[in-house]
Amino acid sequence: MADKRILITGGAGFVGVHLARRLIDNGDEVVLLDDFSRGRDDAELAELTARDAITTVTGDITDAAIYERLGKGFDQVYHLAAVIGVRHVMERPHDVVRINAVGTLNLLDWYADGGANAFLFASTSEAYAWTKQVMNIPTPTPEDVPLALTDIKNPRSSYAGSKIFGELATTQYGEMYKKPYAIVRFHNVYGPRMGWDHVIPELHERARGGENPLTVYSADHSRAFCYIGDAIDGITAAIDVATDGGPCGTYNIGNDDEEITMGDLATRLLATADIDAGIQPLEAKHDPIKRRCPDVSRARADLGYAPKVDLDEGLKRTLAWYDDHPRPT
Ligand SMILES: NC(=O)c1ccc[n+]([C@@H]2O[C@H](COP(=O)([O-])OP(=O)(O)OC[C@H]3O[C@@H](n4cnc5c(N)ncnc54)[C@H](O)[C@@H]3O)[C@@H](O)[C@H]2O)c1
């Protein structure tokens, strides 16, 4: 008998596959819902879906008919599906707003109607990035800072706005229906199979391709990088604690021990990959926020969250995976 029956939306994506593997290894039964707009039907997904405890449903969270196919009575849902990435945000911000907002509302209606007992919403540090530009909020940043949008004509605000909306909707549905819920704000989660458009695989790809000096945008900006295994510890604890009658609320998921500038990240990456190259620092392209780092003390206190994989070890595991998996052509 499976321990829990769990739905993961966006289950073929980066976080989704790592999460699914953890859950089935723990004895849970998992349904992955994905429209494969970004998630890949690759060997790792195939290896997972070959296991009895996992089923894949191909579908779009904005399509109301998909909820009939899913049925009801899941113990938990991890809502990870979203349109993300700078390219989508800059080229089709209206779709970012529509898909992220409508999909989340559909899923919350399904949850409220008995689809699942507990709901986890995947948010982001972007939710407070705009606040940081206009208010003097602390860094490392706690969860309870005001969430602001300061320039709604800017396409970049589409992603942050859709995530703020998702946090609001999840909270109000959870409170109104008196059901367990959790919101997690991911901060620069990285690891194997994260795609090829994030900073770590992208720097690695160019460095392996012989770029010297290696161009590093926003070299003086700092971020805190969190290994995927630690992020999975945090999100599973957040929904389990809420399910077991503990606090429902918002948690930063990141690694406050690992704040580093992009320039230093590139240097560490070159050393880990044993590549002899220099660095060419350049101005920021899209992101005006110089420093971003989570305060994870709430997650430590409520969830027993404690990031374990340091940047050197995390980079080693990640780059090894990318050495074996060049960008598909
Ligand atoms: N990885 C990070 O560092 C990070 C940081 C902040 C926030 N997040 C959030 O965490 C969640 C998961 O991120 P990820 O890195 O795994 O992203 P990802 O793009 O790898 O996964 C998202 C998945 O959602 C699917 N999807 C998109 N639109 C869909 C739709 N309409 N219906 C069904 N499926 C759809 C995609 O195909 C993809 O497989 C996202 O909500 C993202 O906003 C991640």
Residue-level pLDDT at 161? 97
Length of the chain: 329
Model confidence band, residue 163 (pLDDT cutoffs 50, 70, 90): very high
The closest-lying atom of ligand 1 relative to the alpha carbon of residue 190 is 3
Residues 55-66 pLDDT 10s: 999 999 999 999
* Location of structure tokens 């706690």: 142
| pLDDT exceeds cutoff 80 at 288 | no
Of 34, 119, 239, the residue with max ligand 1 atoms within 8 A of its CB, to mutate for a pocket test, comes to: 34
Is any atom of ligand 1 closer than 6 Å to the C-beta of 60?
Answer: yes
Residue 15 Cβ contacting ligand 1 at under 6 Å: yes
For residue range 179-235, what is the model confidence (pLDDT) as tens digits? Answer: 999 999 999 999 999 999 899 999 999 999 999 999 999 999 999 999 999 999 999
Please give the radius of gyration of the chain, using alpha carbons only, rounded to the nearest integer. Answer: 19
pLDDT tens digits, one per residue of 142-157: 999 999 999 999 999 9
Reported pTM: 0.97
Q: What is the pLDDT of residues 71-94, one digit of tens each?
A: 999 999 999 999 998 888 999 999
| CA 227/CA 261 separation, integer angstroms | 17
- Residue 37 CB less than 6 A away from ligand 1: yes
Q: Is 188 in the pocket of ligand 1 (CB under 6 A)?
A: yes
Q: Is the CB of 186 inside a 6 Å radius of any atom of ligand 1? A: yes
Residue 68 CB-density burial (10 A; 0-12 exposed, 13-18 middle, 19+ buried): exposed
Q: For the segment 264-278, what is each residue's pLDDT rounded down to a tens digit?
A: 999 999 999 999 999
Q: Which helix (H) or strand (E) holds 206?
A: helix 199-208
Which residue has a Cα nearest atom 21 of ligand 1? 13
pLDDT of residue 289: 82
Domain ranges within the chain, ordered by starting residue: 5-194+225-256+292-308
Which pLDDT score, from 0 to 100, does residue 2 have?
Answer: 64
pLDDT of 328 strictly over 70? yes
Highest mean pLDDT among 153-157, 237-241, 288-292: 237-241
pLDDT at 22 over 70: yes
Average pLDDT value for the chain: 95
Ligand 1 lined by 38 (C-beta under 6 Å): yes
pLDDT at 286: 67
CA dist., res. 106 & res. 1, Å (int): 30
Q: Which CATH number fits domain 5-194+225-256+292-308: 2.60.120.260, 1.10.1370.30, 3.40.50.720, 3.40.920.10?
A: 3.40.50.720
Structure tokens given for 84: 């993300």
Per-residue pLDDT, 1: 52
Residue 24 Cα to ligand 1 midpoint, Å, equals 20
